[in-house]
Amino acid sequence: DGFVSNVGSVFHFNPNQLYVPVPMSFGSTRNSTSRLVIDTTSSGNSIRFTHTIQSSFSVDGSGTLILPTGSNSNVLRLKDVQLSYDTIFTVVAGFFIPISETASQVTSFQFIKPGSAPALIATVNADSLGQFATDGSYFLSTWDNVPVISEKNFKVYPSPADKFVNFSSEESMNGTI
């Protein structure tokens, strides 16, 4: 049903955080909520920290992705808007009462080659509204069912983009691509 993660062996998202919803195709949408709860004490007082992530996924683009390493056809663009809430609670009269809450939003775009094992080709992180790229990365090669760990940093422009997105890197690329 998708790729999920948990945080170590002590703290777990419940339900697990969804990173890439599969199966997917152009026009697919999916929402997911994950939550991490940590209970502790401080100076004899019970404290609860919660971290909640609401993800809204949509496959809003498809086509050919051109990178410095070559062209990738039949690529899907997965837009992920994540709204995160961090809340701190303390116990008052036997009940957890919130004493602090913050919220933040981030948007990222993942370029994925669909198949029996979807392959992540590139990621572009953007501002909270998804209008201006903040950073990005791409893999030096694509694969079939074999993960590749080598990555290079690159710049994405123009931002915002109209019809095309350009990728450039100041890092040299050694070896066969």
Note the pLDDT tens digit of each residue in 101-142. 999 999 999 998 887 566 778 888 888 888 888 888 877 655
pLDDT of 169 higher than 90: no
How big is the CA angle at 42 (ends 41 and 48), to the nearest 5 degrees? 50
Close Cβ partners of 127 (under 8 Å, ≥ 6 residues apart): 107, 134
Q: How confident is the model at residue 165 (pLDDT cuts 50, 70, 90)?
A: low
Fill in the DSSP letter of residue 172: -
**Selection from 70, 59, 169, 159 nearest residue 114 by Cα:** 59
The backbone region for 129, taken as left when phi is positive above 0, alpha when psi lies in -120 to 50, beta otherwise, is alpha
Note the pLDDT tens digit of each residue in 43-101. 888 999 999 999 999 999 999 988 887 888 889 999 999 999 999 999 999 899 999 99
Note the pLDDT tens digit of each residue in 60-74. 999 998 888 788 888
pLDDT of 2 higher than 50: no
pTM of the model: 0.68
